[in-house]
Amino acid sequence: MNFDPGQIGAVGQTVFVPKEGEAGETRVAASPETVKRLAALGFDVVVETGAGRASRITDSDFQGAGAKIGKAADAARADVVLKVRRPTDAEIAGYKSGAVVIATMDPYQANASLNRMAKVGLTSFAMEFMPRITRAQVMDVLSSQANLAGYRAVIDAAAEYDRALPMMMTAAGTVPAAKVFVMGAGVAGLQAIATARRLGAVVTATDVRPAAKEQVASLGAKFIAVEDEEFKAAETAGGYAKEMSKEYQAKQAALVADHIAKQDIVITTALIPGRPAPKLVSAAMVASMKPGSVIVDLAVERGGNVEGAVAGKVVTTANDVKIVGHLNVPGRVAASSSLLYAKNLYAFLETLIDKETKQLSIDPEDELVKATMLTHGGKVVHPNFQSVSAGDAAATASPAADPEIAKAAKGTEPGLDVAPKKTRSRSAAATAKPAGTRKAPVRKAGSAKPGGGKA
């Protein structure tokens, strides 16, 4: 990493929290609790008026915690900017040179934005690139948001499904339990499993990692997969899924196709960093489902896992199957997701503060900095984006430059699913709690490459 520590140090004490500029973004990057903690670190905190309204946090709530309420133009004097999404071009132009910007950057296919941040002189950090280490678990935005996305996916499915989810035995007769199939047993998938089980559904799930079988079973769901010798060897020592053979893919696809036809609700969670989401559910599979069935596609912002899914819409097919394609699913529970996200950002920012001087002091050798820093000193410095230099907007960044950082960088889309960290001793049930403390690479329900990782 090309980094001159002399270019950043005791750069000031103002933190600015803007109202998100992207349409449909309801979350905010601070909470009254984190404002109090930032003030305790010595920062003056300025929150743009209305920034927390969609998250049920009022200006007076922020003021009561010690923040000043300002306007968008106040970003020009901020030393640190905390955001949910990557800043817009207009926002970047309004920041001062040397400012630190921390957000979920979603940098792949965003070379122009990276160039602009570098040209302005911003030191920017991508929270979704946080490495898989114990000290970074509290900073894990992917897990905190994926937990809530998995929960909300089930709630949305239940709202569209015109029957009861639990089995009900009454004097008038018995209502059968709904059958829910979750594709991907990462953080979002496990939370979806746990939520559907709490609502009384009969739940099955699939994943290409053998370790997922035990996690799924611990939540009371049935694991569905072709469990041959190749499957048993499908996970690396680091918890990543190996690429599966075409023969295995064909067998797994046939099993899934047969299973989907019998389901009432299907939830898919597969995303691939920097690429379109893999197609897991074909039009033929959708056509095989019963009228009134529901599919929730959590990957719709990246093209979707389901053929026929439309971003931002609920589509009803010719055979009366609803395909739910809501955008920004964590933002559909903004009051909860904002609280968790704000804690993630605070935990990271705290590591950048010198405890004696209470000033920003960024260590270029810190593993968190190495994994997450995108731009600094007028340059794009992240190893995965070395081809993206100022004035080279045509360059295409690769998501697999440095092997170690590439592992940390797997999962660049807000709200995507990640696999629970393999080395932790907590149960899979704990993973499914919306606490956002798991750190892991992205998992794809179907394949990272054809037949690869899972959600």
Which residues does the annotation mark as catalytic?
Answer: 132, 137, 140, 143, 240
Contacts 24+ apart (CB under 8 A), 400-404: 404/131
Structure tokens that stand for 155 in this block: 């709630």
Is the separation of the CB atoms in 274 and 412 below 8 Å?
yes
Burial class (CB in 10 A: 0-12, 13-18, 19+), 51: buried
Q: Which amino acid is at 434?
A: P
Question: Helix, strand, or coil here: 20?
Answer: coil
Question: Helix, strand, or coil here: 423?
Answer: coil
Residue showing tokens 């010690």: 66
What does the alpha-carbon distance between residue 258 and residue 262 come to, in Å, rounded to a whole number? 7
Pairing of strands 322-324, 294-297: parallel
Structure tokens that stand for 442 in this block: 């992205």
With a CB cutoff of 8 Å and minimum separation 6, the contacts of 398 are 274, 384, 387
The residue among 246, 239, 238, 211 whose CA lies nearest residue 225 is 211
Is the separation of the CB atoms in 250 and 131 below 8 Å?
no
DSSP 2: -
